[in-house]
Chain A
Amino acid sequence: MRTEPTAAYARDEDPVDPPYLYPDYVATRLRSPAAPLVPLPQSLTELCGPLLGEGRVGELDHDLTRQHEDAPLGQRIIVHGRVLDGDGRPIPSTLVEIWQANAAGRYAHEVDRHPAPLDPNFSGAGRCVTDGEGRYRFITIQPGAYPWQNHFNAWRAAHIHFSLFGRAFTQRLVTQMYFPGDPLFFQDPIFNSVPDPRGRERLISAFDLDETIPEWALAFAWDIVLRGRGATPLEDEDADA
């Protein structure tokens, strides 16, 4: 049994995540803490995390086009990629959960009042577990853009929500995947809340011709990077000593 402490996960050198208060996204104004966050040293509670696998996933959970009697309307797409940590290591056997609007830009949710049609053949939720090399793969339909009430004539850029656990509480991530060339990026405050333009780029999937299936589906590739240990050289020396 190992007894040495488990190495901490790296903190970001420059901000990667959006700030809590981003006034252009109106809902942040009353939901962002006013006091600064308190530093939390990473103990075993933070260095461990729930390891949820196959037991959470049904046979057709990865295929959002086969969860009902008929196929949903919309452009069929494959969304795939790898889940990695910041050190470039794949994260195998980790649960990936997604949810999205239908092809008309409507969620199968009672709160969504957008007057676009619901699709009885599309629930919009999927789950899978990464393979031994950290790969995930979903079959779904291209989600539509949709209007929201944030500001006048506000539209969300088309996106798929992703939720990931990684292997540690510190790695937990909920984010959104976008599609290349979306004309709505410029006016979407959720997308633009990411402070670094390179960070925003990392939320955009790439069209992937190699993974398309002729006469059947287009494909988009998107890798997700969770926190790594990223030890500084000094800490590396300590670990080797």
Chain B
Amino acid sequence: MRLARTPSQTVGPYFAIGLPWPDGPCVVPAGTPGAAWIRGRVLDGVGDPVTDSLVETWQADPDGRFDHPDDPRGAVRGFRGLGRCLADDSGTYSILTLKPGRVPSPEGSLQAPHIDVSVFARGLLNRLVTRIYFPEEEAANAADPILSSISSAERRATLVARMAEDGYRFDIRLQGDRETVFFDL
């Protein structure tokens, strides 16, 4: 039996009454050895901060594995993999996590380490999906099938985080100058 899908609608401006969790930004508990903060701003088409946005991250554990029965390599228990952070008054989100390991591509080769990102906001009728790649993974990034599918070096660069004092910096530009690459799943 095939059923038609339920369409998406915007989160609107008031999701903060329902969606934030106290531990949402912490994929791993504070103090976890090796954990890094990924921070960035969500900006609109004129560079204004999108203060009513929610950023969710989803990723493999440091070995590239998931706590999920559909992983044919077997589920590895205990790594939540999900981060969720409401942007602050400057449009900044912050996620504390461990860098993911490499995950196979559909063809079987290893992808560069990456984190999937969903952006929700007032004015977004559907989530936007992007990926965070890591700046120190130059060789893996150069061979990554997804990054390689984007011909423009300038566009590709929007998917690679920058190093920061306590982790990484990854800004998300919804529209216009240096617009982030967004994906169709």
**Residues of A with Cβ closer than 8 Å to B?**
1-6, 8-9, 11-12, 16-20, 22, 25, 27-35, 37-52, 56, 84-88, 97-99, 101, 107-109, 111-112, 123-126, 159, 161, 163, 167-170, 172-176, 190-191, 193-194, 198-200, 202-203, 224-228, 230
Contact = CB atoms under 8 A, between A and B. Distances in A.
Chain B's interface size range is 35 or more
B67 A51 contact: yes
23 contacts: A1-B74, A5-B106, A30-B46, A31-B44, A33-B180, A33-B182, A40-B183, A44-B70, A44-B103, A49-B58, A52-B82, A86-B3, A86-B4, A86-B5, A101-B14, A112-B13, A125-B18, A161-B15, A163-B19, A172-B127, A175-B9, A199-B7, A228-B2
B21 A37 contact: no
Given A99-B19, A174-B9, A228-B3, A50 B80 contact: yes
Consensus secondary structure, chain B interface: loop
Nearest to A32: B175
Interface of B: 1-19, 21, 44-46, 48, 50, 52, 56, 58-60, 66-68, 70-74, 80-82, 103-106, 111, 114, 116, 118, 120-129, 131, 145-146, 149-150, 155, 174-176, 179-185
Contacts of B105: 41, 43
A177 to B, nearest CB: 9
A40 B3 contact: no
Nearest to B82: A50
Contact of B103 (A37, A45, A108, A200): A45
Given A31-B121, A163-B19, A43 B104 contact: yes
Given A18-B126, A86-B2, A194 B7 contact: yes
Contacts of A190: 9-10, 12, 125
B125 A50 contact: no
B2 A88 contact: yes
B91 to A, nearest CB: 12
A169 B58 contact: yes
Given A50-B80, A203-B9, A224-B6, A41 B106 contact: yes
A187 to B, nearest CB: 16
Nearest to B53: A31
Nearest to A98: B18
Contact of B123 (A31, A123, A159): A31
Given A18-B8, A203-B9, A228-B3, A48 B71 contact: yes
Nearest to A39: B184
B54 to A, nearest CB: 9
Given A38-B184, A45-B60, A173-B6, A163 B18 contact: yes
